[in-house]
């Protein structure tokens, strides 16, 4: 399934105060690249400051890299003992670097902990949604599954239809309509959940078809929120079904069964599979 890219935001510059947010959302590779770049730049700066006064560091010689590695030892408060500050100027620089190093390590540890401790939902949605008759009524259906071996307590799902419309004044707008699920709440979401929306006269999808939805750029926005039983934290998951992701006249295959030991079994290998209406009726 191809991941949708977020829309471009032209003419908008992110505020610098969003640095913490960027550090939380950047991929791990980018995060460690930023940490490494900052670490090297920090020690290069203090190496230059130490080199401004000749002989300020004992046993450092004239090599710039000796000053750099002395800065590394100072920042991490290692202190091997070979090199040491021998002037008042060097001791002042060491004191400043130790203070900034402690602050930097504290901030870096906090960001790493925040990244690891963020609650995440392992909820899998079916790759497509389907529209078929259910209990004699046309119904929009899709599947959700909890991929963890725990339960999501008080799970709630909400559906929203987004489509392009033109007002009576000829203004093009993106409008949103709530789609009422047949069951919007699951007290214990542990296995799978087939979410249903009945397309009746009150439904915003009433009278719509695949061609009309495609022409309107329609999307069904799905949001699932619940309390993770293990983490005791609120988690959420979302999925967007475009007009091309909604299959008409098909239904999902049955994935519930019994294992050899008689316990209930779920075949996630067929979680996304659908069959035509006629074939499902024969089954």
Q: Tell me what pLDDT residue 1 has.
A: 44
Cβ pair 92, 210 in contact under 8 A: no
274 shares a domain with 159: yes
Instruction: Please tell me the distance from the alpha carbon of residue 204 to that of residue 198, in angstroms, as a whole number.
Output: 10
Domain boundary among 117, 150, 171: 117
Instruction: Please tell me the distance from the alpha carbon of residue 214 to that of residue 206, in angstroms, as a whole number.
Output: 15
138 shares a domain with 232: yes
**Of 18-22, 186-190, 244-248, 277-281, which range is least confident?**
277-281
Q: Is residue 9 part of a domain?
A: no
276 shares a domain with 176: yes
117-142: pLDDT as tens digits: 888 888 999 999 999 999 889 999 99
Domain boundary among 117, 141, 174: 117
263 shares a domain with 192: yes
Q: Tell me what pLDDT residue 2 has.
A: 47
148 shares a domain with 69: no
249-275: pLDDT as tens digits: 999 998 887 777 777 778 888 899 999
Domain boundary among 72, 94, 117: 117
* Number of Cβ within a 10 Å radius of residue 46: 22
Q: What is the CATH number of the domain that holds 199?
A: 2.60.40.1400
Beta bridge partners of 265: 257
Encoded tokens for 217? 């750029």
Q: Is residue 63 part of a domain?
A: yes
Domain total in the chain: 2
pLDDT level of residue 14 (50, 70, 90 thresholds): low
pLDDT at 182 over 70: yes
Burial string for 6-17 (b: 16+ CB within 10 Å, else e) reads eeeeeeeeeeee
100 shares a domain with 80: yes
Q: Is residue 6 part of a domain?
A: no
25 shares a domain with 94: yes
148 shares a domain with 45: no
Beta bridge partners of 195: 142
Encoded tokens for 214? 């495609």
28 shares a domain with 96: yes
Instruction: Please tell me the distance from the alpha carbon of residue 11 to that of residue 13, in angstroms, as a whole number.
Output: 7
pLDDT at 71 over 90: yes
Q: What is the CATH number of the domain that holds 90?
A: 1.10.287.70
**Of 66-75, 117-126, 235-244, which range is least confident?**
117-126
Instruction: Please tell me the distance from the alpha carbon of residue 46 to that of residue 96, in angstroms, as a whole number.
Output: 10
Cβ pair 143, 247 in contact under 8 A: no
Look up the domain containing 224 and give its range.
123-282
128 shares a domain with 113: no
Q: Is residue 4 part of a domain?
A: no
Q: Tell me what pLDDT residue 16 has.
A: 59
pLDDT at 10 over 70: no
259 shares a domain with 227: yes
137 shares a domain with 23: no
Cα angle, residue 246 at apex, residues 212 and 125 outer, rounded to 5°: 145
Beta bridge partners of 257: 265
**Nearest alpha-carbon partner for 237 in 154, 86, 89, 124:** 124
Encoded tokens for 171? 């203004």
Q: Tell me what pLDDT residue 18 has.
A: 78
Cβ pair 184, 157 in contact under 8 A: yes
The residue-averaged pLDDT of 53-59 equals: 89
Q: Is residue 66 part of a domain?
A: yes
Cβ pair 144, 124 in contact under 8 A: yes
pLDDT at 281 over 90: no
* Number of Cβ within a 10 Å radius of residue 217: 12
């Amino acid at each position: 399934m191809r991941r949708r890219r977020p829309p471009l935001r032209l003419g908008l510059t992110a505020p610098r105060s969003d640095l913490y947010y960027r550090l939380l959302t950047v991929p791990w590779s980018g995060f460690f690249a930023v940490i490494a770049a900052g670490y090297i730049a920090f020690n290069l700066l203090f190496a230059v400051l130490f080199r401004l006064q000749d002989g300020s560091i004992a046993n450092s010689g004239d090599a710039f890299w000796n000053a750099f590695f002395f800065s590394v030892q100072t920042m991490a408060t290692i202190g091997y003992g070979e090199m040491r500050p021998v002037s008042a100027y060097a001791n002042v620089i060491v004191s400043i670097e130790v203070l900034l190093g402690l602050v930097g390590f504290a901030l870096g540890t906090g960001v790493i902990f925040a990244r690891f401790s963020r609650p995440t939902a392992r909820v899998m949605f079916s790759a497509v949604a389907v529209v078929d008759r259910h209990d004699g009524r046309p119904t929009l259906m899709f599947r959700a599954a909890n991929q963890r071996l725990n339960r999501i307590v008080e799970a709630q799902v909400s559906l929203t239809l987004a489509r392009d419309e033109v007002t009576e004044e000829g203004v093009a707008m993106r409008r949103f309509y709530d789609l009422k699920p047949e069951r919007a709440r699951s007290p214990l979401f542990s296995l799978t959940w087939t979410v249903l929306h009945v397309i009746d006269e009150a439904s915003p999808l009433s009278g719509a078809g695949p061609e009309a939805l495609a022409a309107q750029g329609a999307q069904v926005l799905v949001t699932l929120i619940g309390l993770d039983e293990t983490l005791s934290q609120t988690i959420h998951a979302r999925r967007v079904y475009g007009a091309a992701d909604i299959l008409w006249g098909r239904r999902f295959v049955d994935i519930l069964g019994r294992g050899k030991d008689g316990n209930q079994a779920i075949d996630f290998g067929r979680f996304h599979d659908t069959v035509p209406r006629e074939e499902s009726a024969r089954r």
